[in-house]
Structure 1
Amino acid sequence: MALQYRIIPVTPYEQNCTLLWCDETMEGALVDAGGDIPKLRAAVEKAGVKLVKLLVTHGHLDHVGGVLALAEELALPIEGPQREEKFWLDMLPQQAMMFRFPPARAFEPTRWLEDGDTVTVGKLEFEVRYCPGHTPGHIVFINHAAKLAMVGDVLFAGSIGRTDFPRGDYDTLIQSIRGRLFTLGDDYRFIPGHGPMSTFGQEKATNPFVGGRFG
């Protein structure tokens, strides 16, 4: 049994939607299905995966724009984010207008997630860590067996999430990165919400916002 994944960039913001699955059961999930639903469905079909749930790190439109439509179309549960993110999920119609995306409806997930919760996909387990700062209810998903994390917009290769949106907070974000992510092993890889993958060790050593002399 092992974790398999594919990264599928979606929306004009090139957001990294992750298709992950258990190679024993072939049950899978999409993390941050932000849009481009035909592209996502084609990737799922090509991989031969049976989707069983949709996972959400936070409520910004490029991460959740396709979630409700997929959930309704395929009768899938939505798990995450943390309940403070209701602030952003309620604003999805306004976000769509502001960023000139297709219309989006507000929704609540089937299951709000809290720090320390466990999410299962097939026989895979993911630890949930609450990492606010970019948004108030942001979470990350960690599979310790594969040493892989899906971190949304908390941390990027060489950068960090922006904090100038409503209810963003720079100091809280830095605390989340150092206290919730950098406490994992240096060899843990992570998939950010945008851009290339990296490792926590690499970011500790070189990221100008939270690594190097700030480490």
Structure 2
Amino acid sequence: MALQYHVLPVTSFSQNCSIVWCDKTQQGIVVDPGGDVAAIRRQIEQLSVEVVSVVLTHGHLDHVGGATDLAKKLSIDIIGPHKDDNFWLQGLPGQSQMFNFPLTEAFEPQQWLNEGDTVTFGDETLQVIHTPGHTPGHVVLFSESAKLAFVGDVLFNGSIGRTDFPKGDFNTLIDSIKSKLWPLGNEVKFVPGHGPESTFGHERRSNPFVADEMPLY
């Protein structure tokens, strides 16, 4: 038994939408369906996953733009992010205009997520870690068993999330990464909101924003 996942880039921002499931039960979740709902649904069908919820890491349009449509079509709930990102979700119509996306109406999830909460599907459990900085209500989803994290726009391969958006804060983001992600272990692999996967250990050695270990030669 093992956690499985498939990453599908969506929208013009190539946002990494992740379909995550328990290979014993085939129950799963969709993390950050930013758009292209038809493509997401086709992938779900090809993988034969029974999706039980949509889970959002934060409130930016390219991560949540397809959430309500997908949730309605599958008759499932939207979970997350932390309630401090509600202002982003209420501002979705304005975000849509700004980035020339299809109109996305404001919404609230059926459940907000807090530090220490869990997201379950099948026999799998993801831990919820509140990681403000990129946005105040950003959360990371971590599988202890798989040593795998879905980190949204907190951390990237070789970079970190932007902090110049409303209520973003550089120092808070750096603290979230170093105090909440690094203790999970260098071997943890992570799926970022954009771009290729990496490990925490690799970023600790080479990421110019958050490196704190000397390279190993």
TM-score range (shorter-chain normalised) is over 0.9
Partner of 1:25: 25
Deviation at 1:139, TM superposition (A): 0.1
Once the two structures are aligned, what percentage of the paired residues are identical? 54
Cα distance per residue 1:163-211 (max 9 Å; x no partner): 0011100000000000111111100000000000000000000000000
Amino acid corresponding to residue 12 of structure 1 in structure 2? S
CA–CA separation in structure 2 for the residues paired with 1:213 and 1:115: 27
CA–CA separation in structure 1 for the residues paired with 2:74 and 2:43: 15
Partner of 1:113: 113
CA–CA separation in structure 1 for the residues paired with 2:153 and 2:53: 21
CA–CA separation in structure 2 for the residues paired with 1:196 and 1:117: 27
Residue ranges of structure 2 left out of the alignment (5+ in a row): none
CA–CA separation in structure 2 for the residues paired with 1:201 and 1:146: 16
Deviation at 1:121, TM superposition (A): 1.2
Secondary structure of the residue that 1:194 maps to in structure 2?
A: coil
CA–CA separation in structure 1 for the residues paired with 2:51 and 2:120: 12
Amino acid corresponding to residue 112 of structure 1 in structure 2? W
Distance 1:24 1:213, change over 3 A: closer
Distance 1:48 1:65, change over 3 A: same
Partner of 1:85: 85
Stretches of 4+ aligned residues off by more than 2 angstroms: 212-215
Deviation at 1:72, TM superposition (A): 1.5
Cα distance per residue 1:60-104 (max 9 Å; x no partner): 000000001111121111111000010100000100000000000
Q: Which moved more, 1:70-79 or 1:92-101?
A: 70-79
Backbone CA RMSD of aligned residues: 1.2
Deviation at 1:212, TM superposition (A): 4.2
Residue ranges of structure 1 left out of the alignment (5+ in a row): none
Matched ranges for 1:178-193 at <5 A: 178-193=178-193
Q: How many corresponding residue pairs?
A: 215
CA–CA separation in structure 2 for the residues paired with 1:82 and 1:74: 23
Amino acid corresponding to residue 66 of structure 1 in structure 2? G
Amino acid corresponding to residue 85 of structure 1 in structure 2? D
Cα distance per residue 1:106-136 (max 9 Å; x no partner): 1111110000111101110000000000001
Deviation at 1:213, TM superposition (A): 6.7
Would you say the 8 A contact 2:205–2:214 is kept in 1?
no
Partner of 1:199: 199
Deviation at 1:214, TM superposition (A): 9.6
Deviation at 1:148, TM superposition (A): 0.2
Deviation at 1:143, TM superposition (A): 0.4
CA–CA separation in structure 2 for the residues paired with 1:132 and 1:192: 15
